[in-house]
Amino acid sequence: MKSNDLKEVALNQFALHGYQGASLSSIANEVGIKKQSIYAHFKSKEDLFISTYNDSLVNELYFIKQYMLENSSSSLKEVLYTFLNEYLGRYEKSHNMNFFMRTSFFPPVQFEQQIKKGTNEFVDELESLYFSLFEDKKDDLKPGINPEFAALSFLTILDGLLVELLYGFPERLQKRLTSSWEVYWQGVTK
């Protein structure tokens, strides 16, 4: 048994039940060990939670970087619109994204500063990736549209859609995705 096995099970438990609702006993049972054995790998539930969060951040950035790499030859429109659909759809399929988003938006009070720091690092990296994408594909933009501003506007739409994903309903999310995309795309492209 490895600490990675514990973190994988913990990720699922934290994603489903939050920090307060997940128990070390349940995590240990699912892994097939005694609760005390967890302490051979992690000092505490808090240590396991933060380690799991840090891994989830790395995994989300990896997913996005891989997406960008695999779609680098696509048009700006295809890259952006497909990303929105795939990333929003990922929430239901990926415990990693589910945990990362829930924790970033609703951090347990005792970890608020650590989570904010990690979330800001994620956002900084996301901005860097999208600034590069928009700079590389600036010929797709209307004359006078600053690639950095277009990237920040796109990421602001993504932020709004993520809030809708967490608080709203699928039909409303789809409606907001479709309408915000149409207005955004008409505003920035030729």
Give the tens place of pLDDT for each residue, 80-119.
999 999 999 999 999 999 999 999 999 999 999 999 999 9
What whole-number distance in Å separates Cα of residue 41 and Cα of residue 184?
48
Give the tens place of pLDDT for each residue, 43-65.
999 999 999 999 999 999 999 99
67 within 8 A of 86, measured Cβ to Cβ: yes
**CA quadruple 45, 58, 99, 149: dihedral sign:** positive
Tell me the CB-side half-sphere exposure of residue 35, using CA atoms within 13 A: 7
With tokens 């589910």, the residue in question is: 98
pLDDT at 128: 97
What is the third-level CATH fold of 49-188?
Answer: Tetracycline Repressor; domain 2 (1.10.357)
105 to 10, 26, 46, 86, 167: CA distances (angstroms): 19, 25, 18, 20, 11
Closest CA to 27 of 47, 51, 45: 45
pLDDT at 1: 57
